[in-house]
C-alpha cells in the first residue's frame, strides 16, 4: 500500500522479495526509488490516474538493478486508509511475476519430476499405461516383474505381463476404470516376470485425471507369499481333518466291537448266571438262602441294566440292526428319561438313505446336542427333526431354553459344538447354531447324501 507520493505505507514479505529488498527495509521509502527511472515515471502517471479513482491494470515495473527480463506486472486500485483523524486516500499495488512460456515450461518440468519422484518412492509397485502400453514404472514395479531397469518395462503391453487366463479379467477392470466408475474392485492375477517365473499379485486400477481418458494407473501388491502360506495352512488343516477322521473311524469301530462283545458275550454270561441263581433260589429250602439269592438276583438285574446302558453308550446296536431313525428315537427317549425334559422327534416314515459313516455322524451329533441341552440350555422341551431336502440330509435340534451365546462355537470350553462342526466338515457338510424368533436355541447340520459327499481322505 502506497500513498499518492509513492511512499510505502505497508508491504508484505512477497512484495519485499519481488522488489529485491531486505525484509523491513521498505516502510516509509518512496517506491519510485526502488524502480528504474522509466518504471518510476510510469508509476507516477498511474498514481495520478488512480487519484481520480481510475484503476490501472497491466502496469510493467522493473526493480532497480534488474533487467527487463525480471520486470513485474502491477495493478493499482484506489483505497482509503483510516489514520484516526480521517480517511487518507491511498493506492493498493499488487505485484506479481508474469508467467512466460519458458518459466511455465520449467514449472511443468519441475512438477513432472516431483511426480515421478513421488511414484518412484511409493512402497507399492506402480505402472502408468496408455492403451495397455506401459509408459512408466516405479522401482517397486521393476523389482516385482524381475526387470533390470525401468526401460525394460516401458513400451511393453500389459497383456504380456499377465498369464493368458487372467487377461480377460484385466481387460474388464481396465474398461471399468476408463468408464469412470468410482470404485474399481481389486482383482488378483497371475503375473509373468521377465525371468520366466510367475507370481500372484493384487491389482487395483484408476484413471489419472487431467491426463486423458486412456491413461490408467495400476498399483500392484505381491501376494505370492501370503497365498503360499494360506495354501500351506489349508493343506495342514486338511491333513489334521484327515487324521481326525481316521481317529473318529477307529474309535467308532472299537466302540462297535466292545459293544458287540458286551452284548453277545458278557450279556449272555450274565443271563445264564441269572437263570442258574433263579433255579437255586426256587429250589432252596432255607429262608436265609432264598433271601440272599433274591438280593443277588436284584444286584444281577442292576448289573445287566448297567451293562446295557454302557453298551448303548459305546455303540447302540440298534443303529446297526434297525437303522438311524430307530436309534435317534431311542436316544430321544433316553435323554428324556435321564434329563427330565420332553424330547419329541420328527424323522419321517422313510429311513434316510445314508451310509454307515453318515448315520454314525448324525447319531453322535444328536447325542452331543442333547447333552449340551441338558447341561446348559435350562430347557423343558427339545425337538429333533431329520429331513431330506434336495440332495442333503438336514438335521435340526431345537430347544426352548436360554439360547446360544454369541460366538458359541469359538467360546473357550465349547468342545462339544466344535466337535459337531468338525464331524460335519469331515463329511463335506455345514453346521450352524442360532437363536430363532420365539426363544431357545437351534442347531442345524446339512450333510450330503451318499454319492455327493466330498469327505477328507482317510490316512492309511
Q: What is the pLDDT of residues 383-395, one digit of tens each?
A: 999 998 888 999 9
Which of 17-26, 116-125, 437-446 bottoms out in mean pLDDT, i.e. has the lowest?
A: 116-125
Task: Label the pairing between strands 381-389 and 342-346.
Answer: parallel
Instruction: Determine the average pLDDT of the residues in 303-310.
Output: 75
Specify the range with the lowest mean pLDDT, choosing from 26-40, 156-170, 421-435: 26-40
Residue among 404, 365, 356 at smallest CA distance from 385: 365
Choose between 340 and 70: higher pLDDT. 340
Per-residue confidence band for 412, with pLDDT thresholds at 50, 70 and 90: very low
Average pLDDT value for the chain = 81
What percent of the chain lies above the pLDDT cut of 90? 15
Specify the pTM: 0.46
Q: What is the pLDDT of residue 441?
A: 93
Candidates 179, 169, 170; CA nearest to 213 is 179
259: Cβ–Cβ under 8 A, 6 or more apart, which residues?
Answer: 311, 312, 314, 315, 316, 317
Query: What is the radius of gyration, based on Cα positions, of the chain?
Result: 45
429 Cβ contact partners less than 8 Å away, ≥ 6 residues apart: 392, 445, 446, 447, 448, 453
What are 127's strand-pairing partners? 137, 218
- Would you state the pLDDT for residue 332? 92
Give the CATH superfamily of 104-222. Answer: PAS domain (3.30.450.20)
Mean pLDDT of 113-126: 78
At 84 the pLDDT is 72
pLDDT at 7 over 90: no
Which residue did the predictor score with more confidence, 42 or 209? 42
The Cβ-side half-sphere exposure at 307, using a 13 Å CA radius, reads 19
SS (H, E, C) 315-361: CCHHHHHCCHHHHHHHHHHHHHHHHCCEEEEECCCCCCCCCHHHHHH
User: Strand, coil or helix: what is 172?
Assistant: helix
Higher confidence at residue 400 or residue 109? 400
Euclidean distance between CA atoms 134 and 217, whole angstroms:
10
Confidence of residue 341 (pLDDT cuts 50, 70, 90): very high
Q: What are the angstrom distances between the C-alpha of 379 and each of 26, 50, 374, 412, 439?
A: 92, 95, 7, 22, 11
Q: Looking at per-residue confidence, does 48 or 401 come out higher?
A: 401
Confidence (pLDDT) at 407: 64
Specify the long-range contacts of residues 229-238, CB closer than 8 Å, at least 24 apart: 238/456
The predicted pLDDT at position 433 comes to 92
Strand-pair category, 133-137 with 430-434? unpaired
Residue 456 confidence class, pLDDT cut points 50, 70, 90: very low
| pLDDT cut 70: percent of the chain above it | 86
pLDDT at 106: 72
Q: What digits encode the pLDDT tens for the residues 413-433?
A: 456 788 888 889 888 899 999
Instruction: Give Cα 59 to chain centroid, integer Å.
Output: 63
Confidence of residue 205 (pLDDT cuts 50, 70, 90): confident
Given a contact cutoff of 8 angstroms between Cβ atoms, the answer to whether 439 and 400 are in contact is yes
pLDDT over 80 at 19, yes or no: yes
Q: Which of 42-46, 107-111, 147-151, 319-323 has the lowest mean pLDDT?
A: 107-111
- Cross-strand pairs, 81: 88
Q: What is the mean pLDDT of residues 54-81?
A: 80
Spatial distance between the Cα atoms of 74 and 65, rounded to a whole number of angstroms: 18
CATH 3.30.565.10 fits 322-460, yes or no: yes
Between 271 and 152, the higher pLDDT residue: 152
Question: Would you place residue 210 in the very low, low, confident or very high pLDDT band (cuts 50, 70, 90)?
Answer: low
Fold of 13-98: Beta-Lactamase (3.30.450)
> Is residue 457 predicted with pLDDT exceeding 60?
no
Does pLDDT of 173 surpass 80?
A: yes
Q: What is the mean pLDDT of residues 169-180?
A: 83
H helix count then E strand count, the chain: 12, 13
Phi first, then psi: what are they for 181, rounded to 5°? -65, 135
Query: pLDDT digits over 241-291, tens only?
Result: 666 666 767 776 777 777 666 766 676 777 777 787 777 777 666 777 777
Amino acid at each position: 500500500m502506497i500513498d499518492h507520493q509513492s511512499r510505502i505505507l505497508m508491504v508484505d514479505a512477497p512484495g519485499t522479495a519481488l522488489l529485491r529488498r531486505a525484509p523491513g527495509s521498505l516502510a516509509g521509502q518512496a517506491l519510485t526509488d526502488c524502480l528504474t527511472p522509466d518504471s518510476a515515471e510510469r508509476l507516477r502517471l498511474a498514481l495520478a490516474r488512480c487519484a481520480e479513482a481510475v484503476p490501472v491494470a497491466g502496469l510493467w515495473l522493473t526493480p532497480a538493478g534488474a533487467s527487463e527480463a525480471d520486470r513485474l506486472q502491477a495493478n493499482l486500485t484506489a483505497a482509503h486508509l483510516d489514520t484516526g483523524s480521517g480517511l487518507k486516500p491511498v493506492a493498493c499495488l499488487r505485484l506479481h511475476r508474469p508467467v512466460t512460456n519458458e518459466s511455465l515450461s520449467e514449472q511443468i518440468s519441475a512438477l513432472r519430476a516431483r511426480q515421478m519422484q513421488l511414484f518412484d518412492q511409493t512402497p507399492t509397485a506402480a505402472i502408468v499405461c496408455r492403451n495397455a502400453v506401459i509408459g512408466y514404472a516405479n522401482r517397486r514395479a521393476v523389482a516385482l516383474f524381475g526387470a533390470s531397469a525401468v526401460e525394460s518395462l516401458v513400451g511393453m503391453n500389459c497383456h504380456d505381463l499377465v498369464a493368458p487366463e487372467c487377461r480377460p479379467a484385466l481387460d474388464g477392470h481396465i474398461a471399468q476404470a476408463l468408464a469412470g466408475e468410482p470404485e474399481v474392485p481389486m482383482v488378483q492375477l497371475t503375473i509373468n516376470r521377465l525371468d520366466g517365473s510367475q507370481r500372484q499379485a493384487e491389482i487395483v486400477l484408476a484413471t489419472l485425471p487431467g491426463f486423458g481418458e486412456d491413461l490408467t494407473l495400476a498399483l500392484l501388491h505381491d501376494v505370492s507369499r501370503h497365498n503360499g502360506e494360506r495354501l500351506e495352512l489349508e493343506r495342514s488343516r486338511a491333513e489334521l481333518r484327515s487324521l481326525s477322521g481316521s481317529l473318529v473311524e477307529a474309535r467308532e469301530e472299537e466302540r462297535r466291537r466292545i459293544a458287540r462283545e458286551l452284548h453277545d458275550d458278557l450279556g449272555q454270561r450274565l443271563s445264564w448266571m441269572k437263570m442258574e441263581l433263579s433255579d437255586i433260589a426256587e429250589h432252596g429250602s432255607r429262608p436265609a438262602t432264598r433271601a440272599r439269592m433274591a438280593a443277588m438276583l436284584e444286584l444281577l438285574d442292576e448289573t445287566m441294566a448297567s451293562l446295557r446302558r454302557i453298551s448303548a453308550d459305546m455303540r447302540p446296536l440298534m443303529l446297526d440292526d434297525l437303522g438311524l431313525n430307530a436309534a435317534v428315537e431311542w436316544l430321544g427317549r433316553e435323554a428324556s428319561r435321564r434329563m427330565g425334559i420332553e424330547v419329541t422327534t420328527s424323522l419321517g416314515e422313510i429311513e434316510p438313505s445314508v451310509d454307515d459313516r453318515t448315520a454314525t455322524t448324525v447319531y453322535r451329533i444328536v447325542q452331543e446336542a442333547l447333552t449340551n441341552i441338558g447341561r446348559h440350555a435350562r430347557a423343558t422341551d427339545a425337538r429333533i427333526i431329520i429331513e431330506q431336502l434336495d440332495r442333503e440330509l438336514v438335521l435340526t435340534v431345537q430347544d426352548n431354553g436360554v439360547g446360544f451365546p454369541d460366538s458359541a462355537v469359538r467360546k473357550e470350553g465349547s468342545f462339544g459344538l466344535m466337535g459337531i462342526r468338525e464331524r460335519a466338515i469331515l463329511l463335506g457338510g455345514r453346521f450352524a447354531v442360532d437363536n430363532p424368533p420365539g426363544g431357545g436355541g437351534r442347531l442345524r447340520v446339512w450333510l450330503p447324501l451318499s454319492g455327493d459327499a466330498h469327505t477328507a481322505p482317510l490316512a492309511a
